[in-house]
């Protein structure tokens, strides 16, 4: 079983992650051929359900990007189904307590380390006959830190055994702190919170990811020490490119 995300981290390289919100195999195929290190199928705020997520995971497999998924919420059924469908990493939103972080890890791991039910229907074809032996060591679990409650419990969440790392949702984090929700934060208090999450995670030996918008901001986050940066999502990139060519033509 191969996980390019872990391979890049082992080489001390940052992962450039793409984000699939559109339930279309065509746009997923375009992104799969674009050269992202990983691609995340979003079932929370994206327009995907399980069936479209399965189709997108199949489309991702035509390229070299590692297939990840963001679950809609902390619930064991969807965690198991997305892993069985072939995702080798999961991002879970709104992890606010160590108990929630522990549950997330348990749901994503087979016994004796967890309580994931065995039945890797597509995963075994995608990742090989040794999947059962490799899954617990290879699957990436990233808990989203995006509220003041999570900040209050940060040290305990970071201490969760088996958790791969954290993933910052800047929009919800800033909203929870009383500021305007947006990516690419420049509000000093929010920036300080982001840096605190990063430092706490790295000091504990965990990985840290963050959702970005502009490539320049993503590069800044890599320089700061983040292990994974996401570049917007497919909807934003398509909308921005479309508006740009129209504006240029009319201008």
The residues annotated with a catalytic role in the active site are 45
Q: Tell me how many helices (H) and strands (E) the chain has.
A: 13, 8
SS3 content of the chain, % helix, strand, coil (to 5): 45, 15, 35
Phi, psi of 143 (to 5 degrees): -90, 130
Find out whether 235 and 48 touch, Cβ atoms under 8 Å.
no
* Longest alpha-carbon distance in the chain: 63
- Supply 140's token pair: 């990436």
């Amino acid at each position: 079983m191969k996980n390019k995300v872990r391979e890049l981290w082992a080489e001390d390289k940052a992962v450039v992650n793409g984000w699939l919100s559109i339930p279309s195999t065509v746009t997923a195929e375009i992104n799969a051929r674009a050269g992202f290190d990983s691609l995340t199928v979003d079932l929370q705020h994206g327009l995907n359900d399980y069936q479209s997520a399965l189709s997108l995971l199949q489309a991702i497999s035509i390229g070299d990007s590692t297939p990840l998924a963001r679950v809609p919420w902390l619930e064991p059924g969807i965690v198991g189904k997305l892993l069985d469908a072939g995702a080798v990493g999961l991002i879970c939103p709104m992890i606010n307590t160590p108990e929630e972080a522990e549950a997330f890890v348990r749901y994503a791991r087979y016994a004796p380390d967890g309580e994931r039910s065995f039945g890797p229907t597509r995963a075994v074809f995608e990742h090989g006959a040794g999947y059962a032996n490799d899954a617990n060591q290879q699957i990436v679990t990233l808990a989203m830190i995006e509220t003041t409650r999570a900040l209050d419990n940060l040290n305990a969440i970071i201490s969760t055994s088996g958790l791969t790392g954290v993933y910052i949702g800047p929009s919800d984090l800033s909203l929870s702190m009383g500021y305007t929700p947006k990516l690419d934060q420049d509000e000093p208090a929010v920036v300080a919170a982001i840096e605190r999450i990063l430092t706490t995670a790295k000091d504990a030996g965990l990985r840290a990811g963050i959702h970005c918008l502009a490539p320049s901001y993503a590069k800044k986050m890599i320089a700061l020490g983040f292990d994974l940066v996401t570049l917007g999502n497919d909807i934003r990139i398509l909308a921005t490119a479309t508006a740009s060519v129209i504006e240029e033509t009319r201008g």
